[in-house]
A = this chain, B = another copy of it.
Amino acid sequence: MECNDSNLSCLNCKEREGTVLDVLTDKQLQLITDNKTCVVFKKGQIIMHEGNNPNGVYCLKHGKCKTHKLGIEGKEQIIRFAKSGDLLGYRAILSDEPLSASITALEETRACFIPRQELFELIEQSPSFSMQLMKVACHDLGEAGRIITNLAQKTVRERLAEMLLLLESTFGVTSDGNLDVSLTREEIANLVGTATESTIRLLSEFKEDKLIVLKGRKIKLVERGKLAKLGNVFD
- By a beta-carbon cutoff of 8 Å, the part of chain A in contact with chain B is 69, 71-72, 75, 77, 79, 90-92, 94-97, 100-101, 123-124, 127, 130-131, 133-135, 137-142, 144-154, 158, 192-194, 232
Contacts and interface: CB of A to CB of B under 8 A. Distances in A.
A142 B94 contact: no
B95 A135 contact: yes
Question: Chain A's interface: helix, strand, loop or mixed, by majority?
Answer: helix
A92 B142 CA distance: 8
Contacts of A142: 91-92, 95, 97, 100
A152 B91 contact: no
Contacts of A138: 90-92, 94-95, 97, 137
B144 A75 contact: no
A230 B61 CA distance: 44
